[in-house]
Every structure is written in C-alpha cells, then in structure tokens.
C-alpha cells in the first residue's frame, strides 16, 4: 500500500515537473515519506518520519541531503525577461521571496508597490514566502505595513509558520511538546497552532557547568525539536535538543531551512540557519525534515490551500539554491531577479547548474512590460 502511494506521488511529481519541460526530478524517497506522512492521522507516523529523514534508511542515494536535496537537470540557460505581459498572462499566482525581491533590509526596492498593485488589478493572487523564521506571519504583516505595502498576513508564509503547519498536518499530539532552537517567530506560530513548546529565546542565557557527574535532565514529553535561525544559539540548546532527539522515542527533527548564509547587515554575509541545523545533525547523526525553501512542503501547502495548479504559479526570487530550486521542485515557472544576492555573472557562471526560466533586474520590470530589458 505504502509502495503504491509512493508511486502515485512520484507520478504526480513527475507530471508536475514535466509540464514545465524544464527539468526532471530525481524523486527522493524522503519527499515521498513526507507526503505519506502527511496523510497519516496519528502520531505513530512520526516513527516513520524519523526513519525516512535518516539518509541511510530512506534514500538510496547516500549523498543526498534531507528533503531539500532534490536534484535537477536543467535543459536550457535562463532567458532575459522580454515579454513580461506574456508571463503575467500565463500564471494565476505569483509567489515572491521577500528579502532581495520586495525589500533589502529595511528598505523597499524601487517600484514594488506599483508592481504589486498592477498584478492585483489583473486579478493575480500574490503570496509572499520567506525562509526567515525569526518572525511570525503577524510580525511580517507589520513589516509590510511599515513599508507602506498593503499585504494581508494570510498572504505571508514564513518558515516559522511552515513548521507549525507541518506539525498540524501530521496531527502532532497536543499533549506532546516542541523544543525550539530558534527565535520568537517560531514560538508565536506554535502558540497560535495550539502546541506546547519550550526553549527558544528563554534558553539563550543558559550555561552549562560541567562539574564531575553533572547530568542534564530533559523533558521526556518533547516529541519534536524545531531548529531555525537563532542569534542566541548556545551549547545548552545543542545538548538539550540532542537529548530530546536521541533519547525520546519518535522525536522529530524539523528544520525551518538550511540556508548557509543570511544578510543580517548589508556589509557581509552571516552564518545562516543551516549552521544551527548542522550542529544538531552533527550531534544526532540524523537529517532533518526541512519545511522551508527549497523543500516543497510550503508549495504543496499553498497549492492545496488555494486549490491552484503548480504550473499556474510563478516563483520569483533572488536566490538560485533556495527560491529558484523551490519553484523548480514544485513544478512552477521561475523568475530570478537581480535585485538581491545573485548577479548576472553568478547566474551565467559555468559552475551554476540552477537556471530559472527567466531573469530580470527587479520586479518593477513588469511595469515596462514588453520593453523590459536587462
């Protein structure tokens, strides 16, 4: 039965991907595990999840890494966007990454409000997706508002929300707890979803005194450890999360994202959420279930929630290895904007294997329609 379900999911993934004729998914068993897992209604499914998120148990390819490790074979180089009108007409929903697409730090990118207004006036659905887990949807809503953008919090999908949505999708028991290595956004989303949690910023000041015979106690009711970007990461959190995952039977290991670097300031790149996740991988010898980009959990969630075909979605982002891969893994059209971390020479470098359908300077190029040039 499970094999049949897996084949069916594989077929749907392949169909979605082939509809765009841009790449072929090397269907990972881990993805199938998540799909299967999401259809399970009891927490007993978590045991399966754990097996499936372990590379050795779940993937025939031992070099593959967790859910985001999809491999793509690109067929053609990205084309400059020359007919924005045609692209707009061909899709129903635009999914926008935020940093580097909508804003840079706390500064709005030129022409964004007018572009979003134009797309709404054409009846397009707009969705905003970010791997940043430090804020909740509500907190992001405030940021959009501060920047003068009219965006409803229901249109915002941060990886903090994805972690809570994932736990809901597997009916994570309300009597179990979630240990959080991460910031306030994850706590707020877990609270909204009605889950019990511990850890988070509160554990940021905790220290461990390694006296002879010292043993750290941990809560045996923790059934999931969620790891996201955490500016207050410390050894206490590593040890606590490790004990939960290693010693609590069936405990899930969930990552909001595995981004290598992030842009905390515009002066340099800073170690991203992947560094916190990597520490827990190291101590537990386990691979996480990733709910943020480029894993397809959020894409599947959005498609189900709004009832949209993935081929009717265009993913717009500034990062190749998260945004564009996310769109491609989901079987969507993809547009790279050069207003963020990727420049033209990076896109066209022989070492880059991720090619979006189109690229352009910034999303306000949509306004110049047929005259958009790069």
Is residue 99 a contact point for Mg ion (CB under 5 A)?
yes
Residue 97 within binding range of Mg ion, rule CB under 5 A = yes
CB 218 within 8 A of CB 235: no
Nearest alpha-carbon partner for 333 in 25, 14, 98, 93? 93
Catalytic residue among 68, 82, 86, 92: 92
CB 191 within 8 A of CB 180: no
Up-side HSE of residue 62: CA atoms within 13 Å toward CB? 2
Verify whether residue 92 is a known catalytic residue. yes
Nearer to Mg ion, 182 or 292 (CB): 292
What number of other Cβ atoms are within 10 A of residue 17's Cβ? 23
Stretch that binds Mg ion, among 98-106, 248-256, 280-288, 307-315 (CB under 5 A): 98-106
**Considering only residues 28, 69, 100, 272, which one is a binding residue for Mg ion as defined by CB under 5 A?**
100
- Strand-strand pairing, 103-104 and 107-108: antiparallel
Beta-ladder partners of 127: 95
**Secondary structure of 40-71 as H, E, C letters:** CCCCCHHHHHHHHHCHHHHCCCCCCCCCCCCC
SS3 state of residue 153: helix
Q: Residue 105 or residue 282: which is nearer to Mg ion going by CB?
A: 105
Q: How far is the CB of 99 from Mg ion (least distance, A)?
A: 4
Restricting to residues 327-366, which ones interact with Mg ion according to CB under 5 A? 340
**How many residues at the interface with Mg ion, by CB under 5 A?**
5
In 3D space, the residue among 153, 127, 73, 137 whose CA is nearest the CA of residue 310 turns out to be: 127
Residues of the chain by 3-state class (helix, strand, coil), percent to 5: 45, 15, 40
Could you please report the per-residue DSSP string of 222-285? EEEEEE---TT--HHHHHHHHHHHHHSTT-EEEES---SEEEEETTEEEE-HHHHHHHHHHHHT
- Token readout for 36 is 């299967």
Q: How far is the CB of 310 from Mg ion (least distance, A)?
A: 21
Q: Which of residues 260-299 bind Mg ion (CB under 5 A)?
A: none
259 scored as a contact of Mg ion (CB under 5 A): no
Report, in Å, the least distance between residue 132 CB and Mg ion. 9
Q: What x-and-dash track marks residues 185-224 binding Mg ion by CB under 5 A? A: ----------------------------------------
CB of 94 to Mg ion, least distance (A): 15
Closest residue to Mg ion using C-beta atoms: 100
10 Å CB burial of residue 100 (0-12, 13-18, 19+) is buried
Q: Which is nearer to Mg ion, 17 or 342 (CB)?
A: 342
**Which span sits near Mg ion by CB under 5 A: 31-39, 103-111, 232-240, 317-325?**
317-325
x/- mask, Mg ion, residues 45-84, rule CB under 5 A, reads ----------------------------------------
Nearer CB in complex with Mg ion: 25/162: 162
Of 99 and 183, the one with the shorter C-beta distance to Mg ion is 99
CB of 278 to Mg ion, least distance (A): 21
Which CB sits closer to Mg ion, 99 or 287? 99
Minimum Å gap between C-beta 293 and Mg ion is 9
Select from 196, 147, 158, 202 the least CA-distant residue to 174.
196
Report in angstroms how near the CB of residue 44 gets to Mg ion at its nearest.
Answer: 38
Q: Return the number of the residue (209 or 266) whose C-beta is nearest Mg ion.
A: 266
Residues whose CB is less than 8 angstroms from the CB of residue 45 and which lie 6 or more positions away in sequence, other chains included? 37, 170
Nearer to Mg ion, 32 or 320 (CB): 320
Alpha carbons 99 and 292: distance in angstroms, whole number:
15
Within 10 Å of residue 370's Cβ, how many Cβ atoms? 9
Only segment of 64-72, 253-261, 312-320, 351-359 that touches Mg ion (CB under 5 A): 312-320
Which residue in the set 189, 318, 357, 365 belongs to the binding site for Mg ion (CB under 5 A)?
Answer: 318
CA torsion sign for 198, 264, 315, 67 is negative
- Give contact residues for Mg ion (rule: CB under 5 A): 97, 99-100, 318, 340
- Catalytic residue set: 92
């Amino acid at each position: 039965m499970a094999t049949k379900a897996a084949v069916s999911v594989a077929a749907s993934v392949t169909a979605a991907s082939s509809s765009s004729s841009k790449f072929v998914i090397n269907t990972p068993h881990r993805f199938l595990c998540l799909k299967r897992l999401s259809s399970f209604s009891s927490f007993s499914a978590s045991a399966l999840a754990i097996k499936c998120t372990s590379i050795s148990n779940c993937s025939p390819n031992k070099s593959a890494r967790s859910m985001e490790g999809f491999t793509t074979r690109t067929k053609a180089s990205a084309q400059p966007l020359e007919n924005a009108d045609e692209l707009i007409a061909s899709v129903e929903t635009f999914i926008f990454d935020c940093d580097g697409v909508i804003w840079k730090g706390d500064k709005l990118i030129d022409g964004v409000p007018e572009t979003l207004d134009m797309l709404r006036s054409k009846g397009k659905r707009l969705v905003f997706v970010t791997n940043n887990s430090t804020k909740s949807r509500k907190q992001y809503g405030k940021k959009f508002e501060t920047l003068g953008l009219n965006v409803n919090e229901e249109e915002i999908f941060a990886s903090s929300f994805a972690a809570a949505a994932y736990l809901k999708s597997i009916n994570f028991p309300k009597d179990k707890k979630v240990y959080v290595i991460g910031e306030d956004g994850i706590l707020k989303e877990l609270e909204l979803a009605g889950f019990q949690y511990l850890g988070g910023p509160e554990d940021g000041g905790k220290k461990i005194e390694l006296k002879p015979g010292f043993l750290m106690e941990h809560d045996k009711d923790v059934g999931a450890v969620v790891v996201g970007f955490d500016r207050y990461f410390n050894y206490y959190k590593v040890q606590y999360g490790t004990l939960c995952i290693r010693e609590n039977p069936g405990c899930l290991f969930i990552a909001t994202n595995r981004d290598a670097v992030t842009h905390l300031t515009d002066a340099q790149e800073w170690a991203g959420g992947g560094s916190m996740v990597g520490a827990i991988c190291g101590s537990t010898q386990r691979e996480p279930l990733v709910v943020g980009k480029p894993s397809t959990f959020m894409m599947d969630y959005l498609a189900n929630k709004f009832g949209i075909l993935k081929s009717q979605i265009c993913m717009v982002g500034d990062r190749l290895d998260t945004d564009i891969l996310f769109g491609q893994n989901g079987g969507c059209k993809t547009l790279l904007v050069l207003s963020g971390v990727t420049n033209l020479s990076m896109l066209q470098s022989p070492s880059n294997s991720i090619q979006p359908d189109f690229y352009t300077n910034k999303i306000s190029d949509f306004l110049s329609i047929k005259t958009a040039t790069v």
